[in-house]
Amino acid sequence: MAGRWRNTLNWSDVTPEAAYLSRRQIMAGAGALALGGLAGQARAAEGGLEPNTFEEITSYCNFYEFGTGKEDPKRNAGALTVDPWSVKIDGLVDKPGTYDLADILEGVSLEERIYRLRCVEAWSMVIPWVGFELADLLDRVGVQPGAKYVAFETLFRPEEMPGQRAPILDWPYVEGLRLDEAMHPLTIMATGLYGQDMPKQNGAPIRLVVPWKYGFKSIKSVVRISLTETEPPTTWNKASAREYGFYSNVNPQVDHPRWSQATERRIGAGLFSKRQPTLMFNGYDEVADLYAGMDLKKFF
Amino acid sequence: MGLAGTINGALRRVPAWPVYVLGMLPAPWFLYLGLTGGLGVEPIEALEHRLGVTALQFLVAGLAVTPLRRLTGINLIRYRRALGLVAFFHLSLHLATWLFLDLQSWQLIWADIVKRPYITVGMAGFVLLVPLALTSNSLSLRRLGPVRWRRLHRLTYPAVLLGAIHYVMLVKGWQIEPLVYLAAILALLSLRIRLPRRRVAV
């Protein structure tokens, strides 16, 4: 069992007093996860870490399966069938099989995680995810001693995912983590945000979230999880190996070959907002131990 | 020459100034959208992008004037200066958005121009267009003389090409839209390579 991650960001940290009071009243009536109606109010100035609005999070997405434009996923994801949904778990595990999503969710407890998300394109958001630690699922299926990596795969269904009808990327989208990264308590499988089921354009019904890596590592609409002995191929790395490394940790010192990663712009800050400095590991310093002794300029 | 003649005849009564007025409308419209939430949740990037694409569209239109006349007889040459200047207007605002809204730091700007190939390429295209915008008036045409003026204004060709390459380079992966612009520009430029030869053959 992985150590439990303790969140240092929560609603009371980031919310101005006036909105905080009304939120408490709503929460008292609707239960801890019924935060959906708060989408518009969830802004706060304190500490500089305010969740983006539901509207921002769901209308500015990179999900090339539904088109390369930022608003394409919102426009085109409606046709995606997310129920029934199953995830095939295979490779070096004790209990391989095709698990129904409901079955997976029965064995875990959902919690809220307010995480920063830093896109490789130098923009960022703060998102209140709902999910569970990937380690809990991996423990349940039993990781065998030889396993060193975890490979993930997105649904391939061109009839519902129009972006997959053109060879913009090598479909299906695949991603991977080292086993210790996958087992880290910060790494979650998210099934919702803002207390609601995951919007389709954000990777419904279940997606990975690894907050210290660039957003493209957090693969969406996952249908397969495989435990492997060797480093699995990853989609953007296959598309351009010199631009997108396997690790892709957020790192202001290692620039993308075509643009700087030293700064980022917060989505939703408006036409006259300033860029802000990008933080090492996107501010999640607790993962630094995973890379002790590694040259992160080489393993970018 | 029937249809082309009719069109040319009708256009004789249309002055060039409406091209300037209508052509410059997109910029304030985009700014208005950006200020009122109409450009989505990342308005700086959207404004930059829309201004850049609009500039590219007017450059392509300017590039199409001569082939259009040679292939169909429709003569829009009177409007070409306006098309070029409207393109330059949007391009200047595209650059200004990048400088003053996007980066906001001279240090970052210089680092980007030197280190980022797609910015270097885009800046080179802009720099090539500056003398063309400055000499787009009739006085400069008279001072330079038509031969030298025309030779100078051939800088449009590399400039537009650099603009399209800039667009292809800045997106993640091989996206379709920038490649369509690049293909259109290459087609319009290749028409120019072949046309003089054909004239010799005739």
Average pLDDT value for chain B: 90
pLDDT at res. B196: 57
The tens digit of pLDDT for each residue in B127-166 reads 999 999 999 999 999 999 999 999 999 999 999 999 999 9
Task: Identify the closest residue of chain B to A216 by CA–CA distance.
Answer: B172
H, E, C per residue of B56-68: HHHHHHHHHHHHH
The tens digit of pLDDT for each residue in B170-183 reads 887 788 999 999 99
Q: Which residues contact B164 (CB under 8 A, 6 or more apart)?
A: B56, B178, B181, B182, B185
User: In 10 A of CB A14, how many CB atoms?
Assistant: 22
**Candidate from A169, A267, A274 with C-beta closest to B104:** A274
Q: Any known ligand binding at A61?
A: no
Q: Which residues contact B9 (CB under 8 A, 6 or more apart)?
A: none
Fold of A51-291: Sulfite Oxidase; Chain A, domain 2 (3.90.420)
pLDDT at res. B78: 92
Q: Is-contact A207 A216, C-beta < 8 A?
A: no
Query: Does B178 contact A at CB distance below 8 Å?
Result: no
* Cα–Cα nearest to A132, from A84, A176, A191, A219: A191
pLDDT digit of tens for each residue in chain A (300 aa)?
Answer: 456 777 766 665 543 444 433 444 344 334 434 443 333 333 343 345 789 999 999 999 999 999 998 999 999 999 999 999 999 999 999 999 999 999 999 989 999 999 999 999 999 999 999 999 999 999 999 999 999 999 999 999 999 999 999 998 999 999 999 999 999 999 999 999 999 999 999 999 999 999 999 999 999 999 999 999 999 999 999 999 999 999 999 999 999 988 889 999 999 888 888 889 999 999 999 999 999 999 999 999
Query: Does B47 contact A at CB distance below 8 Å?
Result: yes
Burial category of B139 from C-beta neighbours within 10 Å (exposed 0-12, middle 13-18, buried 19 and up): exposed
Taking only residues 151 to 180 of chain A, the set having a beta carbon closer than 8 angstroms to any beta carbon of chain B reads 166, 168-169
Q: Which residues contact B171 (CB under 8 A, 6 or more apart)?
A: A68, B178
User: Do the chains contact at A68 and B44, CB–CB below 8 Å?
Assistant: no
The tens digit of pLDDT for each residue in B21-48 reads 999 999 999 999 998 888 888 899 999 9
Here the tokens at position A37 are: 């109606």
The tens digit of pLDDT for each residue in B71-125 reads 999 999 999 999 999 999 999 999 999 998 888 777 778 878 887 888 999 999 9
Q: Is-contact A58 A200, C-beta < 8 A?
A: no
Q: What is the DSSP letter of A51?
A: P
Does residue B100 come out as left (phi exceeding 0), alpha (psi in the -120 to 50 range) or beta? alpha
Dihedral (Cα; A274, A275, A280, A283), 10-degree rounding:
40
Ranges of each domain in chain A: 51-291
User: Cis omega before residue A84 (within 30°)?
Assistant: yes
pLDDT at res. A172: 98
User: Do the chains contact at B174 and A168, CB–CB below 8 Å?
Assistant: yes
CA distance A264 to B45: 12
User: Do the chains contact at B42 and A267, CB–CB below 8 Å?
Assistant: yes
Q: Any known ligand binding at A218?
A: yes
pLDDT at res. B2: 82
Q: Judge if ipTM > 0.85.
A: no
Q: Is-contact A42 A194, C-beta < 8 A?
A: yes
